Amino acid sequence: MIKLIHTADLHLDSPFSMLDLQKSEIRRQEMRDSFEALINLVYTTRSDMLLIAGDLFESSYVTHETLNMVKNGFARIPDCRIVITPGNHDPAGENGIYNKIDFSENVYIFTSEDISYLDFPELNCRVYGYAFTSQSYEKSPLCNEIPKDKSKINILVCHGDTATAIPRHAPISKNDLERADFDYIALGHYHNTDGVHELSNGGYFAYSGCLEGRGFDEIGEKGVITARIDKDEKGKTAFSHKFVPFSKRIYHTRSLDITGCDSSAAILAKINEFIKSEGFDDHDALKLVLEGMLSPSLRVFPQYYKEQINTLFSLKITDNTLPLFESAQLMSDPSIKGAFFDKIRPLLESGNAEERETAALALRYGLVALSGGETSDLN
């Protein structure tokens, strides 16, 4: 029986988006902590194998401190076989990141675009894989039959794209997965996991997703897949798995309708109420899109609301509201404000979101200026 842990797409040292610099630094450290936690998990569970299906590093950003951390981490679990397939963000090759450091003996790295395997007779197991040697891999890696010893546990670890047919990132179709006929296919490339799927041949495949979300495009819980695979003398495979969450922070994207709020305080209160109702706390990073209709004269201060709320790890507020709430009065305003509103209103009702956003902002600015207010503090 093999106990393995499947992970991918750590993208160590990649920049964090949508955070201030201090938070980014915290996340960078947390990413390192997650890596250490992964090593500890391997150690405490006495896993036989750690499969890293690509993009362990962000090659163009990786620092020597990170390389040493990874190297030392791997060295601390000498009894675990660490198998790595380089992905499009950390391709193998002469100038690749994997050539710049000497890993310990328990680390195995595929270096060729052609599929090869590693034999672990003590585990009755073969691990197959291939490597990205550049940022693109424009052929289907599993289009040809791969001869196997069926008496062994056959695992494929690879970086590939099962969702799109665009040949840039090793496109793999469902048929390819079926035809490949592996006991387990450990995939990497997509940062979200949708669980482990069974194939018609009795094998399984999964994207582990990334270890930690790095932006609001990587929402939800992140972690690793742990699995046990066994094969009896008749070649029948037994497979069990579990998802182990890892992420210290979870990214969320939500919309909040603040129609009818008549003051900044009301908006702030509504945001606070929403956060509380969703149960978000300092483990969460939230991108909140304010939507709905507000009074044209009501100014929205996303930055101010963000600064007033310190219960979350990170909060980004985007204003998508339209200044059309109870706008009848403005429509009937005989002054220049009414005339100005009249000119802008068609754009507020445009089908183009960007046009609407610009028009809403223009309306607010115009109204402030026409009210004698200072527009300099709008910047």
Partner 1 sequence: MIIEKIRIDCFGNLEDLTLELEDGVNIIEGANESGKSTIASFIKFIFYGLGTKASGTSPAERERFVNWHTGTAGGHIVIRTAEAKYRIERTLIIAGQRADGTQTKKSYREGLQIIDLSNNTPVSGIGSPGEHFFGVDEEVYSRTAFINQLDGAKVDGGKLTQSIENILFSANESVNISKAMKKLDASRVVLLHKNGAGGQIYELEEKCAQLEVKLESAKQTSADILEKESSLKAANEKRESDLKKAQKLKREIVSYENSKIAELFAKKRECLAKLEEIKLSLDTLRQNYTRDGILPDDNYVTGLEAALEDYENAKAQADELFTELELARASADASRNNTDELEKNIDRLRYARLSIEKIKKRAHFSSVISLTFALIAVLFIAGGLACIYLDFFADIARLAILASSLPILLAIVFLALKLGTSSAKKKQLKLSGASSEKELDSLVKSAENQSVQIKQSSDRLEKLTADCKSATALAETALQKLNEKDLWKYTDDTKENIRAAKDVCDRINKIQIEETRVNEALELLCTQLSPYDEAEVFRLAGTEEDRAGIDQENIGAKRREYEFVSGAIESLGVRIHNLEKELASLYSVSDNPARIAEKIALARDFISECTKKHNAYKLALEKIEEASISMRDNISPKLADFTSKLMSELTLGKYGEIGIDSDFKVSVRTEAGTRELGYLSAGTQDITYVSLRLALISSLYRSNTPGVIFDESFSRLDNTRLTQMLKLLNISAKNTQCILFTSNDREAVLMNNIGSFGYKKL
Binding site for partner 1 (CB under 8 A): 13-21, 24-25, 28, 58, 60-64, 67, 100-102, 329, 332-337, 339-340, 342-344, 347, 357-359, 361-366, 369-372, 374-376, 378-379
User: Could you tell me how far CA 245 lies from the centroid of its own chain?
Assistant: 14
* Closer by beta carbon to partner 1, 13 or else 48: 13
In the complex with partner 1, the residue whose CB is nearer, 46 or 100, is: 100
Burial, 11: exposed, middle or buried (Cβ in 10 Å; 0-12, 13-18, 19+)?
Answer: buried
In terms of CB distance, is 269 or 336 closer to partner 1?
Answer: 336
CB of 100 to partner 1, least distance (A): 4
Q: Which is nearer to partner 1, 19 or 39 (CB)?
A: 19
257/278 Cα distance (integer angstroms): 14
Question: What minimum distance in Å lies between the beta carbon of 21 and partner 1?
Answer: 6
CA distances from 372 to 300, 337, 375 (A): 18, 12, 9
Q: Which is nearer to partner 1, 203 or 296 (CB)?
A: 296
Name the minimum Å distance from CB 350 to partner 1: 12
Q: Give backbone dihedrals phi and psi of 346, rounded to 5 degrees, phi first.
A: -55, -35
Burial of 65 (0-12, 13-18, 19+ CB in 10 A): exposed
Q: CA 116 from chain center: how many Å?
A: 29
Strand, helix or coil for residue 314: strand
In angstroms, what is the minimal distance from the CB of 378 to partner 1?
A: 6
- Of the pair 40, 60, the CB lying nearest partner 1 is at 60
* CB of residue 339 to partner 1, shortest distance in Å: 4
Largest CA distance in the chain: 89
Question: Distance between CA atoms of 161 and 55, rounded to whole angstroms?
Answer: 13
Q: How far apart are CA 173 and CA 165, in angstroms?
A: 8
118 versus 370: smaller Cβ distance to partner 1: 370
With residue 45 as reference, give the H or E element that holds it.
helix 21-45
Residues 144 and 242: their CA atoms lie apart, in Å, by 31
- The single-letter code of the amino acid at 377 is D
Residue 259 beta carbon to partner 1: minimum distance, rounded to whole angstroms: 17
- Rounded to a whole number of angstroms, the minimum distance from the CB of residue 277 to partner 1 is 26
Helix, strand, coil content of the chain in percent (nearest 5): 30, 25, 45
Residue closer to partner 1 by CB (options 37, 347) is: 347
At its nearest, how many Å lie between partner 1 and the CB of residue 78? 20
Q: Which residues pair with 226 in a beta bridge?
A: 5, 242
